[in-house]
Amino acid sequence: MRAPQQVPLAGLPRHVTVYEVGPRDGLQNEAAVVPAHVKIAFIARLAAAGLRVIEATSFVRPEWVPQLADAEEVMAALDTGGGARYPVLVPNLRGLDRALDRGVRDIAIFGSATEAFARRNLNRSVAESIAMFAPVVAKANAEGVAVRAYLSMCFGDPWEGDVPIRQVVGVGRRLLELGCDQLSLGDTIGVGTPGHVSALLEAFGAAGVGPERLAVHFHDTYGQALPNTLAALQAGITVIDASAGGIGGCPYAGSATGNLATEDLVWMLHGLGMDTGIDLPALVATSTWMAGQLGRPMPSRAVQALGATPQ
């Protein structure tokens, strides 16, 4: 299988962590429920391909996200001694308790930079959602569990339009001040551009939040996910969210083409001479296999170009 020629750029990190979100963020958007055994095999294949952080599921109420109603079954089947981490999303204390009962050591919460999306997604204001997260983070900290905070709508909102950078920084700092270890900045509808990414990360730095506490989560609605990722790397970001095959997407943007594909990201990172620890052919084979399970091709350009044989 062809590999990119390695031509590094000066000033970029040497090692990057790919934070795989396909099993959770990707599959929760599928119209049909994917069987638990397929999810378990998907996660195992991702780990075998070298992914070391794989967001496995979400402990939400089954009626809210029926695609992830099998969270306990999935987590019980994972090999947690193989060196990979398997974070899960939790919405509240009940979700945290369910996760702790399964021995989870990494959780994530999901907040919004805008009032409109906070109301639609959480049925709360931004302030009320942060208040809801406070006891979750406090209990996780007390249990020695790592906490990531997702912050959505950082670059634009379908109801509010442009989102001021200072607003994003303000909400992001409040989430970190709860005791979160990492903040993932989401371009939920994929409208960001590289200059915007650079300006936002610079503003966080000016507010005392360096790149070591930040991650980025880009959608490719307007074809900007990889350019935006490069801008983030140039700002010192070393944790990039991506979804195997490019599955998933934003239900609030009709033209959304989904998450940044892990294969497309890895192709670029390897071409830049960066260490990811990921076996790209094995990853492509995994997404090709998953395409067979879903009954449709993967959006990833790298998967399409490399054309792995299903296994």
Look up tokens 């980025």; give the residue.
Answer: 216
Give the C-alpha separation, 110 to 90, whole Å: 8
Residue 72, token pair as written in the block: 């306990």
Residue 3: Cβ-neighbour burial (10 angstroms; 0-12, 13-18, 19+): exposed
Buried b or exposed e, range 137-163, using 16+ CB within 10 angstroms: bebbeeeebbbbbbbbbbbbbbeeeeb
Instruction: Reply yes or no on whether 250 is catalytic.
Output: yes
Q: Residue holding tokens 């915007």?
A: 196
Q: Cα separations (Å) of 105 from 63, 86, 90, 96, 287?
A: 25, 8, 12, 10, 26
**Rounded CA gap, 281 and 302, in Å?**
10
Active-site choice (225, 250, 298, 303): 250
Q: Decide: 266 and 229 in contact? Cβ < 8 Å.
A: no
Tell me the C-alpha to C-alpha distance, in Å, between residue 23 and each of 38, 43, 240.
10, 7, 16
Query: Which helix (H) or strand (E) is 218 found in, with range?
Result: strand 214-218
Using an 8 Å Cβ cutoff, are 242 and 20 in contact? yes
Residue 67 DSSP symbol: G
Residue for token digits 């801008």? 231
Please list the active-site residues.
250
